[in-house]
Structure 1
Amino acid sequence: MAGLLGRLTATIKAKLSRLLDTFEDPRETLDYSYKRQLELQADVKKGIASVITARKRLELQKSKLEAGIQRLNEQAREAVAAGRDDLASIALQRKMDMMAQVDSLTAQIEDLKRQEDKLADTARKLDAKIELFRAEKETIKAQYTAAEAKVKITEATTGIGEEMADVGYAVQRARDKTEEMQARSEALDTMVEQGTIEDVLGNKDLVEKELTKIKNEAAVKRELETLKQEVGR
């Protein structure tokens, strides 16, 4: 049973493969693949833009912290000058906290920059690959179109194509019909000559034929009477 199912599955796959080969246009397949690559290219560029946006946002936040650190330094100096070491200590503690945040942001920014560089390198490689694929795609499409045209021309000139087969069938049918009509025409001519049927298109109509017949009969009677008189009857 398993062997039978295996053979049946293989047969179905083979038939489906042949069916797909029949309807598949490689030019459409290539165009679809190219479209998918362009979509991937757009996604990579969107990813790069997102990374750059995130990095810029962190850099802006880092700049604000660095400005805050500068202000705290000035406040601590002013507090010391005023004899307020307690205020100076608070300012310096805040400064330390901000510096820690700056260090963290610096590490994140550097990590984003590395990601950005990798994505940019990937995008460049992808651009080159897509351009190469596009050129090869157009070449293959041109070759397929030329081969397809050659096949159609060859089929048309040799009569092996499906359309030419239909034309050949139509020509043969026309010949058969013509020969049949010619045979009927010859048969009708023969029947008219033999008197089997009346030639309604002839030069004499039925009335004229009957009048001619009467005249002929009268002439025959006259000649017969003349002969009788000559022989003394």
Structure 2
Amino acid sequence: NETLDYSYQKQLDLLQKVRRGVADVATSRKRLELQEAQTKIGEAFSGISDEFGDVGLAIQRAEDKTNELQARAGAMNELLETGALEDFSGTGGDDIDRQLAAMSSDNDVEMELQRMRDSLPASK
């Protein structure tokens, strides 16, 4: 009878070890799935971050170019107004015409910048 009790106890101990092993395997699988999901999320955010960085750089370059062109146009207008430079463009016109043309150009730039902003994905 003692031999049966001992054998039974050994079987129970082995069964407990098997159950713990199964639980450890299940836990390890869940940890692996979680790690894979976190990796995919990180990669997705990294891609999004790169895209936003590229878009931001493109917008910055466009704004820099716009500022440079506006500065050049302003310098040219100032030279024309002071008479330091003669207007050979044939557009002629007085100061008001030039100001209206400059405002139209500024409006075109603003509309283009707004179009670029509207094409960006909406942030949440």
* TM-score interval, smaller chain: 0.5 to 0.7
Cross-structure match for 1:113: 117
Please state whether the residue corresponding to 1:25 is helix, strand or coil: helix
Cross-structure match for 2:82: 78
Specify which of 33, 37, 53 is matched with residue 33 of structure 1: 37
Q: Aligned pair in 2 of structure 1 residues 91, 52: CA closer, same or farther (>3 Å)?
A: farther
Distance in 2 (CA, whole Å) between partners of 1:44 and 1:117 is 10
Please state whether the residue corresponding to 1:72 is helix, strand or coil: helix
Cross-structure match for 1:61: 65
Distance in 2 (CA, whole Å) between partners of 1:115 and 1:50 is 13
Residue 50 of structure 1, CA deviation: 0.9
Whether contact under 8 Å (1:62, 1:105) holds in the other structure is yes
Cα offsets for 1:18-44 (capped at 9, x unmatched): xxxx9x922211210111011111111
Give ranges in structure 2 of 5+ residues lacking alignment. Answer: 1-25
Please state whether the residue corresponding to 1:87 is helix, strand or coil: coil
Q: Aligned pair in 2 of structure 1 residues 90, 78: CA closer, same or farther (>3 Å)?
A: farther
- Kindly provide the amino acid, as one letter, of the partner of residue 87 in structure 1: F
Residue 116 of structure 1, CA deviation: 4.8
Whether contact under 8 Å (1:52, 1:116) holds in the other structure is no
Cα offsets for 1:87-122 (capped at 9, x unmatched): 374587x9959x64x54443332233345572xx24
Cross-structure match for 2:49: 45
Query: Greater RCO between the two (CA within 8 Å, min separation 6)?
Result: 2
Cα offsets for 1:152-200 (capped at 9, x unmatched): xxxxxxxxxxxxxxxxxxxxxxxxxxxxxxxxxxxxxxxxxxxxxxxxx
Whether contact under 8 Å (1:75, 1:88) holds in the other structure is no
Cα offsets for 1:27-72 (capped at 9, x unmatched): 2112101110111111111111111101110110011111112112
Higher helix share: 1
Taking only the aligned residue pairs, the percentage that are identical comes to 15
Q: How does 1:85-164 map to 2 (within 5 A)?
A: 86-87=87-88, 89=90, 96=101, 100=105, 102-116=106-120, 118=122, 121-122=123-124
Distance in 1 (CA, whole Å) between partners of 2:72 and 2:119 is 29
Give ranges in structure 1 of 5+ residues lacking alignment. Answer: 1-21, 123-233
